[in-house]
Structure 1
Amino acid sequence: DLFCIDKSSSAELSEAINSMYNWYSNSACCYAFLSDLAPLSNLRHCRWFTRGWTLQELIAPQFIVFYDKDWVISGRKGRPSLMTPVHRNHLFATPDPGFERLLSGITGIPSAVLSESRDLSLRRQYSIAKIMSWAAHRRTTRLEDMAYCLLGLFNINMPLLYGEGEKAFIRLQEEIIKETTDLSLFAW
């Protein structure tokens, strides 16, 4: 998405951010390039796990292949929904529960969320506070993006208003509360 979105167009940016979760969840395969992961180094220290935008990139796709800085496969999450000749390779054909447990330990996201198909509704299975907690240790460059990067996790569409600062998160809460009676939302 970094190179595919015209950030100079506010309309395109808004549409893209409001659509991202669906793009990822409908993908056959996603690739995560961990540019700061050296071979045999600790995955836990990768910046990828501290960025706000990568939360939906981790949860939404059914299948992700993780690569280290040398483009060597470090692990994979899930199982491909579409078995192309590339995916038939034994590395891709079976789940990698050990790697999914590692991801769960790093992120605090239950393994079930990481391994299940994306047609599940997070809001029905987990409290709003629990889902928000998965983002608690993540950061974004712009303050508003901390709210915007959560839109897809809550199936919320709302206009982007860069410059509003913390009000973006309040607007997100207002949109979420229209869809739920879960008051754990206010713990955030």
Structure 2
Amino acid sequence: MTAPLRKRLRRPPLSSTRTFQPTMTAPLRTRPRCLPLSSSATSQPTMMAPIRERPRRLVSTQTRRIVEFSRESPIPSYAILSHRWEEGQEVSLQDMLDLSPAIEQRSGFQKIVNACAQALRDGHSYIWVDTCCINKQDPRGEEQDINSMYAYYWNSVVCYVYLNDFWMTRRPLSLWFPDFRNMVFESSSWFTRGWTLQELLAPSSVRFFTADWKFYGDKKHLGDIIERVTEIPRRFFNRKNIQGAALIEKMSWSVDRETTKPEDCAYCLLGILGVTMKTKYGEGVERAFERLYDMLRMRFPDTERIGPFIARKPNVLLELQLHKLDHDQGGLSRMFDGSIVDYGRHSVIDGTDPKQYISSHWLPEFLRTWLWHESSKGYLSLSEAQWF
């Protein structure tokens, strides 16, 4: 299913009492139009494994070697790296343990070297890098790291965002017109990736660097630009406000983002939504979103907070795409004199043949294809149109 086109903080002390709480026992603040949570909605969700609040494996910024901490050892403060992976260039945990001249020539290793150097200049002894600090040979451990990722970024001292496609080396940044600099900045593919969503929202401090590791700005001062390119309201860049976003809004943030593995479009939302679930690569993105929806219904029984879903299992991914489309178009509902799900009823009420209606109205390709398929199955009858 083709996604719709994309338009283009004082740090809390790292004490055990202020670290990220994955169970989210405090009630979520909701929009005024949402119903308050029932008492059962704040119960702890079922977890397949405990979430780690901080990673047990870090890179020493002085030696650039992997350091592992036992379960009993306290985890020191650490910086964290956010970046876009480059095919064939990244350095795995095993690569870091068995370094060779060939591995050290990879751009992925040079990225780690420069990240360590930046962290060291800022006074940080350790940094976490997902490529080499997650053991992909241990599926169970990798699953726990994926479910803990939001907490890792939340509890970091600072997040360095490395934009490998943001070059400004031909002349000093100060000589570029600000609008042009910002246009190049917001065109970075980093803003299109699924996992970078939580890497933007979770840390208290996010600093952006160009491809040659020149500091460009931080999340606070670049907020207007980031809001424009991500279409996420700026108030949510203050992580204390994220709980105030409706669940369906949070879920829609990842719909038009890209991931190497389709299922990661759903998995990258786990921490933002405050749930955990087993990762099943190969199940497909639709099934991953369905399981995520099931976890949310278990975690938050007040399903009206999730969105206008029906009693039987909905097409969750389609609903999220519709929600995102409604936001992008400034209210698609105005096109149909009702909500965005009223086009089915509309085509029946005015006596228009569904396929003729689809052909004569502007609709995004993914929605046109899906509607045509459903109308062919006869679902757009007067009795069935209500559920869509």
1:183 positional shift: 3.5
Residue 258 of structure 2 corresponds to residue 129 of structure 1: no
Residue 287 of structure 2 corresponds to residue 167 of structure 1: yes
Equivalent residue number for residue 49 of structure 1: 191
Report SS of the residue matched to 1:112: helix
CA distance in 1, matches of 2:219, 2:280: 33
Instruction: Percent identity, please.
Output: 38
CA distance in 2, matches of 1:2, 1:176: 29
Change beyond 3 A, Cα 1:2–1:137: same
Deviations 1:141-165 (A, max 9, x none): 1111111111011011111111211
| Counterpart amino acid of residue 197 in structure 2 | L
1:66 positional shift: 0.4
Equivalent residue number for residue 176 of structure 1: 296
Report SS of the residue matched to 2:269: coil
Report SS of the residue matched to 2:217: strand
| Counterpart amino acid of residue 106 in structure 1 | V
Report SS of the residue matched to 2:206: strand
Aligned with 2:230 (options 93, 96, 107): 107
Change beyond 3 A, Cα 1:67–1:30: same
Does the 8 A contact of 2:275 with 2:299 survive in 1? no
Greater displacement, 51-60 / 132-141: 132-141
Question: How many residues are aligned here?
Answer: 165
Greater displacement, 57-66 / 170-179: 170-179
1:121 positional shift: 6.2
CA distance in 2, matches of 1:67, 1:21: 21
TM-score (norm 2): 0.41
CA distance in 1, matches of 2:281, 2:149: 18
Structure 1 segments (4+ residues) deviating >2 Å: 120-123, 185-188
Q: Which runs of 5+ in 1 are unaligned?
A: 79-95
- Indicate the structure (1 or 2) with the bigger Cα radius of gyration: 2
Change beyond 3 A, Cα 1:49–1:69: same
Q: Which runs of 5+ in 2 are unaligned?
A: 1-129, 169-180, 310-318, 321-388
1:179 positional shift: 2.3
Does the 8 A contact of 2:255 with 2:265 survive in 1? no
TM-score (norm 1): 0.82
Does the 8 A contact of 1:29 with 1:61 survive in 2? yes
Does the 8 A contact of 1:128 with 1:185 survive in 2? no
Report SS of the residue matched to 1:104: helix
Aligned with 1:30 (options 136, 159, 165): 159
Report SS of the residue matched to 2:219: strand
| Counterpart amino acid of residue 126 in structure 1 | A
CA distance in 2, matches of 1:152, 1:185: 23
1:38 positional shift: 1.3
CA distance in 2, matches of 1:50, 1:133: 13
Equivalent residue number for residue 87 of structure 1: none
1:58 positional shift: 0.4
1:72 positional shift: 0.6
1:172 positional shift: 0.6
Report SS of the residue matched to 1:65: strand
| Counterpart amino acid of residue 232 in structure 2 | I
1:178 positional shift: 1.7
Deviations 1:100-128 (A, max 9, x none): 111111101111111x2x3x3634x1112
* Equivalent residue runs for 1:62-101 within 5 Å: 62-78=204-220, 96=221, 99-101=222-224
Equivalent residue number for residue 29 of structure 2: none
| Counterpart amino acid of residue 136 in structure 1 | V
